[in-house]
Structure 1
């Protein structure tokens, strides 16, 4: 795990090295174990790498160099992430005459590119974001993994092409503009981003499963975007129809392989452990594979309604894990910790879970660990979210006439106002693109409806009638939706938006790497994903039981209480749930939503915002207050982010 950055300019600047060092400084936390630079005046190129050493501890420095078979045409690689199964692939390449200069898995990319050209990405397995400069072809290739587990951003402007693992590294260069995008600010207020969008104008995220091919084009640079992988669900009725036992065994086998690959490192590997079946399954299988106690880290909250430590502890005891519980209080979730989470995430967040996870990553690294295996991705691939079940029950003919799930909202009412909508709402763009408005976006549409009246006339004028919900709907590839089962449609739409923009951002890489911790989500191995997508919806969700096939595959390693437990959203207690939290968020409101700040940023109408906050403080409506908590979290972060980064 590392950080990368770089620039390919029109002409070499004498300050290039000094500027490259500032870019590296901005992502020091991603790679405190070392840094490397390749500055090439002839090509007006700079490539930057900050290293977190996990594999090949003493022989994995980057950049990594390669040449064509005739010894000419240099190639340069900087990579962030992990390529799994690398020893087997290295062996195959050696039989083809390729020599390796390091013990690092990263060197695979440059050898495979040399052998296969741009098709090399199909040979890569893992979580990665990397850059290769091909001098002979005068071509830069930027690649991001299939789900966007590792971040990668780029800017193509008058000074040239810039890229980096985090936007702050590009903003450290004086020729990268810092102007915020009002449309992106609006999206962040409603939580859901359009794929590729960032808060800054002219700075985009490389989309998951995509590569950018950059070449000189006259006085500028041409950027070709190429999709090499997508979550390709089969047409409805064309899933793999197998006996249940085969589906169960296939899932078990795929997960064992994925977890075993992610246990490989030259440093100790731990697990994150909550009270959900995903992280518990990971821990159970890791313990069986290692046949020795696994270190398991759990977050505990000071509100029993949101706390899962008792179930996590039962799991840890069952497999003999060495459990370490970090207790997080109200004081921990706000103040500077809140601001730091915004700084590292480079976006707003609706819930302080990201703050808690950032604190956990520090706790883990303080305990001497650099790597954790996590459970993200299981819900996305196996139908785990309550919102997915709601659409399955509502729109699948097999469930539409039954009472299945009728009491689901009652069981999950604590999440009403956040991840579950308290009322049904639709949008014509989603009706057009998907045939229905998915339940997962409805709560965020309700957030948007409550935000709109608070916006200033000045800010609304900048938006010029922009519809963020339509923009999200129309960003989806209809060829990947048409003819698919309703469950596949909702999973696909979530994977393309919320998984990358939320789960893997302020819930994953960004807050983990804030403290130099590499997280490895085993369910998001693309071999596991491609298997999951071919499993019939009725096997993913069976008789109202979400992730049924995963439960059955992991039944032998799960406590009975967990095997039978319904999915419970993992989030931190919102601010309104205690007076102490209320006092802490008030301090942030006073600092970042002062009259001066509101006037300076021009996003909100101060009078309307103050009235909304006053109403919030007088209300005891949990659902309404949860939604107001979301709006306040976003508003604080939007006012803070420009100053923090």
Structure 2
């Protein structure tokens, strides 16, 4: 697990200039790889490749960039490639030698054997940048679900890339600017796939590669999709559900076993949900020694599930590390630092909680944990999936306002794409409606011709939803937007790697995922029970109360639920949202925003109060991002 960055500019061929440009880009990624740093320059081509290393596999032999003996090929890898020993042995039998025994060492021999199609042989979570000097070709590759991040900026005749946007913004040819359109998307929580918070900085989409080829003094850039989360156009009927239960069980055991392999200890994140408890239960049986389990506890019974996590830890004999968080930890300096790491806004302080948790993991001398992300996406776990297929069954409880809309919403672009407007985007449509009157007049003018809801729909490949079941469509569209843009970024990699800690989401193993798409909808959700097939696969692993429990909202308590949290938020508002600063940033009308902030705390409707919390978080963070990245303000220290 590492940080990768670099650039290609055919007109920049002075090695001193190359190094002076690359070093600051590496400096800002030090948190991703504090163990070692490496660089490789192709001076005549104007290529600079950099790497910061977090050593987990091949501790003494994993230096990067990796290159061939003739120096014509070089690669940097961020992530983990599983099954590498078997691949390395196969390559050796075919007279393709690996440089070293780290997992990343298999990439160049595979490329030399298979060309760009080598990526299909890889299992794991990864971002890869490979330079082929013979073909004058640079390839940026992102894993199937986008577990590992990879961003780029394409200039007039240059390409800059990085594991995080902040490294790209350090390049001398890139000017940090917030994107007004992206600001609106952040306020409504849903980013357009492939976009970021910053002007002219883009994300390589999950399952895609970007290929830059030199043609004279020009770089020609193309993108190619090499994998997708594809559902069939029809599902088998009359099949024994037990076959799918066994199929899920076997593949998940293999995925967890694979992710336990490392040259350092591997722990588990443990909430009180089915997903992480299943992971811990399987890991306990696969591992000879007790597993270290890390749990977050909140100071609100409505949002805290640490009691169930504790019982699961006791059941498995795990050594549990419990981290209790209050307003002191969730707001103030930690909130600001989490925003800097996220590089976008987040609607709930769960991101801050995850930052604290990864910090605790490292303090316990662990560098890697297995996590439960992806289970809901594969097996229909979220309440909006069930609503899209089976209709409404309640008003949402604490989900209302943040995860479920209290009234049905429709949008023409989504109706045309899917045949319905997915329930997952409906609450964010209501947030957008509430945000629009607060925006600066220039942003409102922009929205006369720019429809954020339609832009998100337009980024979905219609061929991947056409003719599919409603549940499949809902799962697919969520996975192409919110899984990558939210759960795997500010809820995953960015908060974990902020403290040099690697997360391994076993459910997102592509063998598990590809099998899950074949499971009939009425086996994923059966008799109104979400993730039924997973529950049955894990029935002897989970405590009875958890096996029978409905989906729980893993969120931090919003500020409106506690006067102490409200006071902590107001302190940030007084610093970051002064009329002068709001006017200078230019995204909101200062007077209208001030009135909203004053009125928000008096809201008595729980759904609207949660929505107000979301808007306040996003507004604060947009101004923080401007301060941190555009103005260059220093980050505060965290106790």
TM-score scaled by length of structure 1? 0.96
Q: 1:465 aligns to what SS in structure 2?
A: coil
Is residue 640 of structure 1 aligned with residue 637 of structure 2? Answer: no
Residue number among 250, 253, 277 corresponding to 1:253 in the alignment? 250
8 A contact 1:56–1:266 mirrored in 2: yes
- Aligned equivalent of 2:635: none
- Aligned equivalent of 2:101: 103
Deviations 1:282-324 (A, max 9, x none): 0000001113310000000001100000000111111111111
- Aligned equivalent of 1:384: 381
Residue number among 339, 343, 367 corresponding to 2:340 in the alignment? 343
8 A contact 1:240–1:535 mirrored in 2: no
CA distance in 1, matches of 2:437, 2:98: 60
Question: Higher mean Cα deviation, 481-490 or 8-17?
Answer: 8-17
Is residue 62 of structure 1 aligned with residue 64 of structure 2? Answer: yes
- Aligned equivalent of 2:636: none
> Could you tell me how far 1:217 is from its partner in structure 2?
3.3
8 A contact 2:187–2:619 mirrored in 1: yes
Gap change, CA 1:293 and 1:604, over 3 Å in 2: same
CA distance in 2, matches of 1:489, 1:581: 38
Residue number among 106, 113, 116 corresponding to 1:115 in the alignment? 113
- Aligned equivalent of 1:215: 213
- Aligned equivalent of 2:353: 356
Q: 2:211 aligns to what SS in structure 1?
A: strand
Is residue 584 of structure 1 aligned with residue 568 of structure 2? Answer: yes
- Aligned equivalent of 1:176: 174
Q: 1:599 aligns to what SS in structure 2?
A: helix
Is residue 497 of structure 1 aligned with residue 481 of structure 2? Answer: yes
- Aligned equivalent of 2:390: 393
Deviations 1:85-135 (A, max 9, x none): 111111111100122221110011111111000111110000000100000
- Aligned equivalent of 1:617: 601
- Aligned equivalent of 1:309: 306
Gap change, CA 1:5 and 1:366, over 3 Å in 2: same
**Within-5 A mapping of 1:130-529:** 130-158=128-156, 160-236=158-234, 238-239=235-236, 242-394=239-391, 406-407=393-394, 409=395, 412-529=396-513
Residue number among 9, 15, 20 corresponding to 2:17 in the alignment? 15
8 A contact 1:434–1:481 mirrored in 2: yes
8 A contact 2:579–2:591 mirrored in 1: no
> Could you tell me how far 1:251 is from its partner in structure 2?
0.4
Q: 2:529 aligns to what SS in structure 1?
A: coil
CA distance in 1, matches of 2:241, 2:613: 43
> Could you tell me how far 1:636 is from its partner in structure 2?
0.5
**Within-5 A mapping of 1:598-613:** 598-613=582-597
- Aligned equivalent of 2:544: 560
Question: Higher mean Cα deviation, 242-251 or 566-575?
Answer: 242-251
- Aligned equivalent of 2:28: 26
CA distance in 2, matches of 1:152, 1:330: 32
> Could you tell me how far 1:463 is from its partner in structure 2?
4.3
> Could you tell me how far 1:356 is from its partner in structure 2?
0.3
8 A contact 1:73–1:134 mirrored in 2: no
Q: 1:15 aligns to what SS in structure 2?
A: helix
CA distance in 2, matches of 1:458, 1:131: 39
8 A contact 2:346–2:617 mirrored in 1: yes
CA distance in 1, matches of 2:27, 2:239: 53
Residue number among 526, 530, 535 corresponding to 2:519 in the alignment? 535
8 A contact 2:157–2:219 mirrored in 1: no
Deviations 1:450-492 (A, max 9, x none): 0001111122234452100000111111100011000000000
CA distance in 1, matches of 2:613, 2:553: 17
> Could you tell me how far 1:389 is from its partner in structure 2?
0.5
CA distance in 1, matches of 2:200, 2:602: 42
CA distance in 1, matches of 2:237, 2:589: 54
8 A contact 1:75–1:132 mirrored in 2: yes
Q: 2:152 aligns to what SS in structure 1?
A: strand
> Could you tell me how far 1:379 is from its partner in structure 2?
0.1
Deviations 1:570-592 (A, max 9, x none): 00000101000000000111111
8 A contact 1:297–1:325 mirrored in 2: yes
> Could you tell me how far 1:159 is from its partner in structure 2?
5.3
Deviations 1:515-571 (A, max 9, x none): 000000000000000000000000000000000000000111100000000011200
CA distance in 2, matches of 1:232, 1:186: 30
Deviations 1:609-642 (A, max 9, x none): 1221122122222111110100010000001102
Q: 2:539 aligns to what SS in structure 1?
A: helix
Q: 2:601 aligns to what SS in structure 1?
A: helix
Is residue 2 of structure 1 aligned with residue 2 of structure 2? Answer: yes
Gap change, CA 1:239 and 1:127, over 3 Å in 2: farther
Is residue 82 of structure 1 aligned with residue 66 of structure 2? Answer: no
Gap change, CA 1:240 and 1:193, over 3 Å in 2: farther
Question: Higher mean Cα deviation, 456-465 or 32-41?
Answer: 456-465
CA distance in 2, matches of 1:195, 1:314: 39
Segments of 5+ residues of structure 1 without an aligned counterpart are 395-404
8 A contact 2:2–2:53 mirrored in 1: yes
CA distance in 2, matches of 1:480, 1:239: 19
8 A contact 1:576–1:625 mirrored in 2: yes
Deviations 1:213-252 (A, max 9, x none): 101234431111000000110013x348631221111100
TM-score scaled by length of structure 2? 0.97
Deviations 1:307-348 (A, max 9, x none): 000000111111111111000001111111111111001000
8 A contact 2:144–2:207 mirrored in 1: yes
Q: 1:618 aligns to what SS in structure 2?
A: coil
Gap change, CA 1:150 and 1:262, over 3 Å in 2: same
CA distance in 1, matches of 2:245, 2:289: 25
Deviations 1:346-383 (A, max 9, x none): 00000000000000000010010000000000000100
> Could you tell me how far 1:392 is from its partner in structure 2?
1.1
Q: 1:77 aligns to what SS in structure 2?
A: strand
Q: 1:466 aligns to what SS in structure 2?
A: coil
CA distance in 1, matches of 2:203, 2:262: 29
